[in-house]
Amino acid sequence: MLTHTISKSKSLVTILLVLQAFYHTSKAQNCGCSSELCCSQFGFCGNTSDYCGVGCQQGPCFAPPPANGVSVAEVVTPDFFNGIIGQAESSCAGIGFYSRGAFLEALESYSRFGRVGSTDDSRREIASFFAHVTHETGHFCYIEEINGASKDYCDETATQYPCNPNKGYYGRGPIQLSWNFNYGPAGTAIGFDGLNAPETVATDPVISFKTALWYWTNRVQPVLPQGFGATIRAINGALECDGANTATVQARVGYYTDYCRQLGVDPGNNLTC
């Protein structure tokens, strides 16, 4: 059974926000930066890749590299997708919720997923994404984190994403989106009220996949060139990397190498973290 989630530690978020503020003067969400500065995905002003790169909202944002011609739908075939979800028990909540169709519909909003770099890079990214999704959801069995409602995922220091005291920000969806500081910006980007209706991630399968793709393209895709191990660190590094939980790291690596084999691509180097 899945007994963990991708929850990010409060300490890591605090460090991230401090670093963002350190580089340049910061302002509130929807920055209002001067013309020569970028507004980062977190709502801070600056002119480095942390601000002008992935997730840049406005200003002189860096242009992303061109997408390649890979068709993700042709890689994520019905056989590939069903080979994952087919391993879940028929009693699982995810059966009938997760589907290849919902994934492909969500993918329409994320045209760069699986389409950066070479054809092999694309296949490795797809294998990596589904490896993590398999691990987080138990082969698409779980929609919500086990016992998630009993846990506190409200980071009160993330004041731009104030928690609704009547809502829980525990793991939901293919990548088990967690914490108010993820639900808030994900909702804004996707078009649902992440802070006041986080349960939408567990009731709308397309939005559910969109949250996974949103998190992936903003937080994980930039580290793909560093190897699969870097993606583990981006998703759950505080709880698994540097010897924290070698069993779960190896489980993720196992799924990844299996999916790379199925997709006919070498998994590359630096598989652990």
pLDDT tens digits for range 110-138: 999 999 999 999 999 999 999 999 999 99
pLDDT tier, 3 (very low <50, low <70, confident <90, very high otherwise): very low
Average pLDDT, the chain: 88
* pLDDT score recorded for residue 29: 42
Q: Give the pLDDT confidence of 26-57 residue by residue, as tens digits.
A: 333 457 888 889 988 777 899 887 788 777 88
The CATH number corresponding to 72-137+205-263 among 3.10.150.10, 1.10.530.10, 1.20.140.10, 1.10.260.40 equals 1.10.530.10
Give yes or no: 136 in active site: yes
CATH 1.10.530.10 residue ranges of the chain are: 72-137+205-263
Cα Dmax for the chain: 55
* pLDDT score recorded for residue 12: 38
Asked if residues 125 and 224 have their Cβ atoms less than 8 Å apart, the reply is yes
Lookup: tokens for 238? 């505080």
Residue 156 has pLDDT above 60, yes or no: yes
From CA 137, how far away is CA 133, in angstroms rounded?
A: 6
Catalytic entry in 136, 144, 145, 240: 136
163 vs 22: which has the higher pLDDT:
163
First to last CA, the chain: 23
Q: Measured at the alpha carbon of residue 193, what is the angle toward residues 110 and 18, in degrees to the nearest 5?
A: 75
Asked if residues 241 and 199 have their Cβ atoms less than 8 Å apart, the reply is no
Look at residues 71, 235, 261, 241 and name the one whose alpha carbon lies nearest to residue 137.
235
Q: Give the pLDDT confidence of 64-117 residue by residue, as tens digits.
A: 777 788 999 999 999 999 999 999 999 999 999 999 999 999 999 999 999 999
Q: Give the pLDDT confidence of 167-188 residue by residue, as tens digits.
A: 999 999 999 999 999 999 999 9
Residue 19 has pLDDT above 60, yes or no: no
